[in-house]
Amino acid sequence: MPQFRYRAVTSTGEMVSGQVDAPTREEVLRRIEYLGHLPIEAELVSAGRIAALSRDVRPPARDVTIFLRQLALLIGSRLTLEAGLQTLAEDASKPMVRFAESLRSTISAGDSFAEALERHPTIIEPAYVAMVRAGEASGRLQPVLSAIVEDRARNELLGERINSAIRYPLFLIGSAILILFFFLVYVVPQFEPVFKDIGDRLNGGAAFVLAASAWLHANLYPFLACCVAFVFLLWLIFSRKEARVRLIAILAKLPGVAGPMRDGRTTRIVSALGLLVGNGVSLPTTLKILRDIVADPEAVAAIDKVLAQVRSGRRFAEALAETNLLPSLAVRMLRVGEETGDLAAIAAHAAQFYEHRLDLGLDRLMGAIGPVAIIFVSVIVGALVVSIMSALLSITELAL
């Protein structure tokens, strides 16, 4: 459908502009007048400009959270949604300006806020769009936005903790690899003329280090090219969702990692469940949205099974108990919430419980990973040093 760029004047004298999809220019003018605006111009956007405007540049998640928090405050201060978006667009980074202007243009064209957010699936998750839609229908948009901001902030904090748990051992292992590379390329060759005099009398460790150093010197550039290609290949593989899901499934079976990962998945599912149900989203719709939150195919199949049974009239907790989607304790807590008619509040308490368990599990995991990584680095560097020193001691003994 063609896209038109328009400008109009509101009843208060404010100038508004935006883009809208419509079959004809007359339809654009009709929509503008229906909104009570005075149209000034409406022209067809060229194909190149459409492609440029349709690019969804993804801003940082933290900037989006700040944007939503500020928008909730402005709406709570009795500003209209369109005025709040225009205010935020005047003081934001370029990706956020594009995002805010796109939302305001869509709303000016007559769409709801939820429909405007739905056009940016890489920025706003479907669960939040459903909450906004329910908030608009009930007239509770400001508290819904506040709940979304709290959930996003909690998830970002959790993501930072998980990333820090991963970055530290990767930094140590990467440092060990760089030290090993420097040792083999620059340090070992300095001793090679001395070791040649010993010949076959070198110990196995020193002989292996010399052979590795000689091979690396002879094939340095092909080796570096292979390393770059390997890193690029890994990036291509893990940029695909299916590969990330398989990696998560493998990590979930490792001792010491399985517990925190299961607690993390439970926290995310139960928190989203309570958040959606508590903000007016129906249970079947909530279950359909949860399918987009979980990545594990087994979890998706379990949610589909629960959804089918709920639609057929079965109680939610009973259907949930027959799957392995959540731990038995979480299921019992949700059953209590369903029986008392306060599923959202009980789900929020369950999410806090498992988030606390996740924090404890991450603390234990980070406390174990650090020493293990240090021992690994020490063994590698120590083995190299011992190999070279033992060879030097052999030379000393022969000289005596």
pLDDT one-digit tens code per residue, 274-295: 888 888 888 888 888 887 777 6
What sign does the CA torsion over 128, 134, 137, 140 have? negative
**253 by DSSP, 3-state: which?**
coil
- Rounded distance, CA 313 to CA 104, Å? 41
Q: What residues contact 278, with CB distance under 8 A and at least 6 apart? A: 147, 344, 345, 347, 348
Strands of the 15-21 sheet, one edge to the other: 15-21, 3-9, 38-44
Tell me whether residue 380 is exposed, middle or buried, using C-beta atoms within 10 angstroms of its C-beta: 0 to 12, 13 to 18, 19 or more.
middle
| Average pLDDT, rounded, for the chain | 79
Decide the pairing of beta strands 38-44 and 15-21: unpaired
Map tokens 């051992």 to a residue.
169
User: Quick check: 295 and 244 in contact, CB under 8 A?
Assistant: yes
Q: Which of 336, 328, 315 is nearest to 354 (CA)?
A: 328
**Which pair of structure tokens corresponds to residue 338?**
């369903």
pLDDT of residue 252: 66
To the question of pTM greater than 0.75 for the whole model, the response is no
Q: What residues contact 49, with CB distance under 8 A and at least 6 apart? A: none
- What is the CA angle 85-91-96, rounded to 5? 65
Q: What residues contact 103, with CB distance under 8 A and at least 6 apart? A: 85, 113, 116, 117
Map tokens 């019992």 to a residue.
332
H helix runs in the chain, sequence order? 25-34, 47-54, 61-76, 81-89, 94-108, 113-118, 126-138, 141-182, 188-196, 204-218, 220-238, 241-251, 258-278, 283-293, 297-311, 316-321, 328-340, 343-399
End-to-end CA distance of the chain, in Å? 91
* pLDDT tens for the 400 residues of the chain, in order: 567 777 776 766 666 777 777 777 777 777 777 777 777 677 776 544 444 444 446 788 888 888 888 888 888 888 888 888 888 877 767 778 888 888 888 887 778 888 888 888 888 888 888 888 888 877 888 888 888 888 888 888 877 877 777 777 778 778 878 888 888 888 777 777 766 665 556 666 667 777 788 888 888 888 889 989 988 887 887 777 666 667 766 766 777 777 888 888 888 888 888 888 888 888 888 888 887 777 677 888 888 898 899 888 889 989 989 888 888 999 999 999 988 888 888 998 998 898 888 888 878 877 777 777 778 778 877 777 777 777 666 656 555 5
In the DSSP assignment, the letter for residue 201 is: G
**Which pair of structure tokens corresponds to residue 379?**
């063994």
Pick the CATH number of 145-400 from 1.20.1090.10, 3.40.50.300, 1.20.81.30, 1.25.40.10: 1.20.81.30
